[in-house]
Chain A
Amino acid sequence: MMRWMFLALAIAVCLLLGLAVGEHWINPFAAHDALDRTILWDLRLPRLLTAFAVGGLLALAGAWFQVLLGNPLAEPYVLGVAGSASAGAVTGLMFVPDSAWVMSAGAFAGAWLGIVIVMVFSRLGPNRMLLAGVVLAAFWSAVLALLLALLPEQGLFRAFAWMMGDLSHSDLPLAVLLLAWVVALVCGLFLSRSLDVLLLGERHAEALGVDVKRLRQRLLLLASAVTALAVTAAGTIGFVGLVIPHLMRLLFGSLHRAVLPASAIGGGLLLVLADCAARTVIAPAELPVGVLTAMIGVPVFLLLLSRRA
Chain B
Amino acid sequence: MRRFLLQSFLYSLIFLLFVSCKTYKLTDVKSVSNFEKTVENLYFSSNEDYVYKCQMDIYKNHVSGILIIKKIKETTHRVVLTSDFGNKLIDFEVSENDFKLKYVLPDLDKKIVINFLKNDFQELLRQRYPVNESFENENSKIYLSKIDKKNYYLFFNKENNLLKQIIYTKNNKEKIDFSFDAKKHIFADSLNLQHKDFKINIKLFQITETE
**A and B: partners?**
no
